[in-house]
Structure 1
Amino acid sequence: MDFFKSIPLHMDFEGQHKAEKLSRIIIALFGIVGLIWGYAIQQLSQTVYILGSGFLLASILTIPPWPMYRRKPLNWQPARDVDSTTNNTKSKKKK
């Protein structure tokens, strides 16, 4: 069970941008090639098969959070203590 908890399931923002860009390029290229090939042999089904294989390839390359999409994580600010924040705002209102 610890093995599954150790698998990272996130991408950083730049990784998301790269994944989206890559998927669009792959699907567009496979769509163009499929359209040309399907037109050349006069088979719409071949166009659909080629486009489907491009979609499958793009899904395999971009949906899982591969390490290439996790290279620049954000450094978040530390969490503030809620009790001290509410006490400071209440004391300011009383004055």
Structure 2
Amino acid sequence: MDFIKNIPTHLDYEGQARAEKLSRIIITLFGAVGLIWGYIIQQFSQTVYILGAGFLLAALLTLPPWPMYRRKPLNWQPARVGEGNASTTKEASKKSKKKN
């Protein structure tokens, strides 16, 4: 179970853009090739099969969080301990005044 919890599941913003661009290129390329091949042999089913293969390839290459999509992670600032949001503290003080 620890192995599954340690699998990274995030992408950085540039990796996400790269994955989206790659998937669009793959699906468009396979769609065009499938359309041409299906027209040549007069079988629309071949077009659908080729497009489906392109979709599966694009999903395999872009859906998992491969390391090539996690090269530039964001460095977040550490959370401040003990300080609440200003609106939260105002609401809390109003509630405590109403109770008294």
Give unmatched runs, 5+ long, in structure 1: 91-95
Give the partner amino acid of 1:20: E
Give the distance between the partners of 1:83 and 1:61, measured in 2 at CA: 43
CA RMSD of aligned residues (A): 1.7
Q: How many residue pairs are counted as aligned between the two chains?
A: 88
Whole-Å separation in 1 of the counterparts to 2:65 and 2:17: 12
Q: Report the TM-score when normalising by structure 1.
A: 0.85
Cα gap change, 1:78 to 1:48, in 2 (>3 Å): same
Structure 2 segments unaligned to the other structure (5+ residues)? 91-100
Q: Which residue of 2 aligns with 1:93?
A: none
Q: What letter corresponds to residue 5 of structure 1 in structure 2? A: K
| CA distances 1:9-68 after superposition (whole Å, capped 9, x unpaired) | 111101100000000000000000000000000000000000000000000000000000
Provide the identity percentage.
Answer: 76
TM-score (norm 2): 0.81
**Separation (CA, whole Å) in 2 of partners of 1:53 and 1:60:** 11
